[in-house]
Amino acid sequence: MRIEPESDGVSASTKHLVFAYYVTGHGFGHATRVTEVVRHLIHAGHDVHVVTGAPDFVFTSEIQSPRLFIRKVLLDCGAVQADALTVDRLASLEKYSETAVKPRASILAKETEWLHSIKADLVVSDVVPVACRAAADAGIRSVCVTNFSWDFIYAEYVMAAGLHHRSIVWQIAEDYSHCEFLIRLPGYCPMPAFRDIIDVPLVVRRLHKSPKEVRKELGVADDVKLVILNFGGQPSGWKLKEDFLPSGWVCLVCGASDNDDLPPNFIKLAKDAYTPDLIAASDCMLGQDYFNEEPFLRNMLEYYQCGVEMIRRDLLTGHWRPYLERAISLKPCYEAGINGGEVAAHILQETAFGKNYASDKFSGARRLRDAIVLGYQLQRAPGRDVAIPEWYATAEDQLGHSSPSSPVDDEYTAFHSGIEDFDILHGDVQGLPDTVAFLKSLSELDEKHTRRERKAAANLFNWEEEIIVTRAPGRLDVMGGIADYSGSLVLQMPIREACHVALQRVHPSKHRLWKHAEARQNDKGGSPTAVLQIVSYGSELSNRGPTFDMDLSDFMEEGKPISYEKAKKYFAQDPSQKWAAYVAGAILVLMNEFGVQFEDSISMLVSSAVPEGKGVSSSASVEVASMAAIAAAHGLNISPRDLALLCQKVENHIVGAPCGVMDQMASSCGEANKLLAMICQPAEIVGLVEIPSHIRVWGIDSGIRHSVGGADYGSVRIGTFMGMKMIKSRASEELTEMCAANGLNYDEVEQDDIELLKQEASLDYLCNLSPHRFEALYAKTIPESISGEAFLKDYKNHNDPVTIIDQKCTYGVRAPTIHPIYENFRVKTFKSLLTSATSTDQLTALGELLYQCHYSYGACGLGSDGTDRLVHLVQEVQHSAASKSEGGTLYGAKITGGGSGGTVCVIGRNCLKSSEQIIEIQQRYKKATGYLPFIFEGSSPGAGKFGYLKLRRRPSLRKVYSCGDDVAVLGENNN
């Protein structure tokens, strides 16, 4: 990009103003752009007091003026990084709490006093939340200048690190609401807390030296290609190597440690090097990714054709060449201004003079509510989803008047149009409208698309070859839940929403590789080898990479499949592509468990309508559909039960989530409108239970994101296995004492009571212990909680292969032990009641069992405010006069799955009034929380019942496009 000579800047003012400019503690990027705005304000004759934690040289290298005052105070902390590429979400929230939440009162008092002492005319924030509130307390106007805000960034952290930090986000949003308006910079994220917005051009710092001068000082010839590595630090343990760069390239390294020894083609830059000069002298820049604002910056770069996304695995392993070559071939088309610093300074000056850029200001909660809802609405790009955290602002859920529709709602009208594009060589769509819609989306892949994932998918398949399509639904946990890993009976219903996978197996010589994957193959030399390429739809909704690729040889080591632990680390190295473990993990499991050799390349398209984070087994549906597609393509005849067990291995050992098997079993073995009854020891299907026609089941989403990999779920599971170990130990002690009293050896004892003790001393599953035996012998011996250290000292281990005890943690034991013992009894009772005579007492008893289960979850620590509120609303409706006048409508509700948020299961009478009351609960929940719940109703067949489709595109309908090199470009731009 050419830097044009700067204009005369902000016009000099006859009136002297004082600005207080607060700078976030998140890296140097904010401080450097602030410097450009401040330079123009000082040039206009004003004083600027910069409040920052950044080093002085960031400002003084550009501004030498007595009108610049630097006050070293840190009032926020930004994102805490585990290394240069990874954000530690929990640490970020905890540090912000220590920095800005706990000392909040003293910060506000001190800042208010300071603002008065300097006689500030205007407070500017980039983008420190508390600065806006302090300005309001001091009676001074405030303006924010930024491309993202911390309420949006931290909202995603809360989802991953724990909802108990949620108040931080609301406090930040409330602080921002005191800001008069936002000066919004390009590449912006959604910023719901701001009502009034002024867009300005890019803020670009001026050059001090020409590119020729910079290259001369560095000793780099004009014909050498120059890339600048600008991460602000490198990942821990990462070593740059000479062969990372193609011949004729040199890399400038920012932020390298003084102790780092760099290869000869890498140049270490000084800490205070002036990066604008260095960037202007370089041919391209290599910057960092995987911050929440990254998708929006990436979209801007791609829109102006000046950026290529490098997957992290290639970054760390030094496979840079195809990306660098592609980057220097781009022809950027950005033609907008680069004088954003000047424009912003002028707006700030005019605001300080008294000009009103904002609309009439509402007060208090109304303005904040309007800012959140309208701010989100105004910043939604038409026709494109953005990554707004669900409970914070939920797309159409927040703005519409009805439950968000599933993708299947509008698909009936296009039923035949999807099928007629293909010859179905095997299988049947079974009248499923979502499957027809998926086939239609396949037929439209070769049309022109603008979304990144659609571009990548457009070049995924060879239409001359056959394609396998599989389908696996999510599930609603009606009864059983977390007792599955304790061997309980569970009752699960497959839901209407499902995941589809399209897979093509092709010889490596015919595989259409993305450009960087092709370059990787060429670097290895020899004949083409098998490559896995995956496209996943919906990536922008969850800030993950839309594509994944790997050489299947990466799964082999010394002629054998790698271990699950190595695979887990392999997928974990790039958080934006960790999702691929759910899909690609199936290949490694088939290698290890069945000895399958994968010699052909594989292309996969994953499209799931099962909402993530709602506790309806979105991950299991992806695993089951993927495993089924891979098995079908390779001629493997695997029963639905065995397929589910294989998928559990994927989630337990490769993804690293300590779930039981009921999710995968329901998705694989379930049937529409029936409850799958299964004893999880490990997976014994005992039948399919018809739901009586007078009974109906719904799921209502709380909007609180559920994660089976979360800390609470794992801690409760550990506590459960600790309790079982204590019970077995106590049973062994009782048995020894009884044998000693009778003068008998262990094997000589035959009495019935001693036989029971024998069984209990060797329990495989906690649910095999009856409630009355637990109460009679063991209840008083189980502690409320125990530290990991104390447990390991007394019991050595807890015999759970998928969780690890942390010696420093304290685990609840009593409640997690009691829950599965009684839950197994509740599920058996529930199953029996379903086949009993139709009566109000039947419905009342079924509902009571749900309520008992719900409160038992809460006792384990797996409840949430949202799910408790929904259950309470069901109870209010149940006991209302309107319900009683109908002879009863809704009868019970419970949290589902792994708990800690997600979906509530509701049971009631199958009548119109019940459905109306479900809608009433939905609306009341929205009124109380601002979130409109998704309602799950309806059912569909499991993957086993669906089987698979084998398709071939009909030649007469095949559209042929001459894409030339563009095919490769599209692939690379989306990886």
Question: What are 39's two structure tokens?
Answer: 């330079």
Q: Is 523 a known active-site residue?
A: no
> Which residue pairs, CB below 8 angstroms and at least 24 apart, start in 918-925?
918/698, 918/700, 918/890, 919/403, 920/877, 921/700, 921/870, 921/873, 921/874, 921/877, 922/403, 922/700, 924/873, 925/700, 925/702, 925/869, 925/870, 925/873
Rounded Cα–Cα distance for residues 797 and 794 (Å)? 9
Burial class from Cβ neighbours inside 10 Å (0-12, 13-18, 19+) for residue 6 reads: middle
In what helix (H) or strand (E) does residue 698 lie, and over which residues does it extend?
Answer: strand 695-701
Question: What are 834's two structure tokens?
Answer: 């379903």
In what helix (H) or strand (E) does residue 724 lie, and over which residues does it extend?
Answer: helix 711-742
Mention every residue, 6+ apart, whose C-beta is less than 8 A from residue 177: 132, 193, 195, 367, 368, 371
Which of 867, 865, 872, 863 has its CA nearest to residue 900? 863
Q: Is 364 helix (H, G, I), strand (E, B) or coil?
A: helix
Rounded Cα–Cα distance for residues 675 and 685 (Å)? 11
Round the CA-based radius of gyration of the chain to a whole number and report it: 31
State the virtual CA torsion across 13, 14, 20, 23 in degrees, nearest 10: 20
Which of 707, 948, 843, 864 has its CA nearest to residue 159? 707
Strand partners, 285: 228
Strand partners, 74: none
Question: How far are the Cα atoms of 218, 303, 576, 592 from residue 567, in angstroms, in the given order?
Answer: 42, 35, 16, 12
Report CA 809 to chain centroid distance, whole Å: 26
In what helix (H) or strand (E) does residue 491 lie, and over which residues does it extend?
Answer: strand 489-506
Question: How would you label 500-538 residue by residue, b for 16+ Cβ within 10 Å and e otherwise?
Answer: bbbbbbbebeebbbbbbbbbbbeeeeeebebbbbbbbbb
What angle (nearest 5°) sits at the alpha carbon of residue 387, between those of residues 381 and 392?
Answer: 105
In what helix (H) or strand (E) does residue 171 lie, and over which residues does it extend?
Answer: helix 166-176
Pairing state between β 142-146 and 181-184: parallel
SS3 labels along 841-882: HHHHHHHHHHHHHHHHHHHHCCCCHHHHHHHHHHHHHHCCHH
Give me the catalytic one of 663, 701, 712, 800.
663
Ordered DSSP codes for 287-354: E---STTHHHHHHHHHHTT---PPPHHHHHHT--HHHHHHHHH------S-SBHHHHHHHHHHHHHHT
The beta-strand segments (E) located in 809-848 are 810-812
Q: Which residues are catalytic?
A: 663
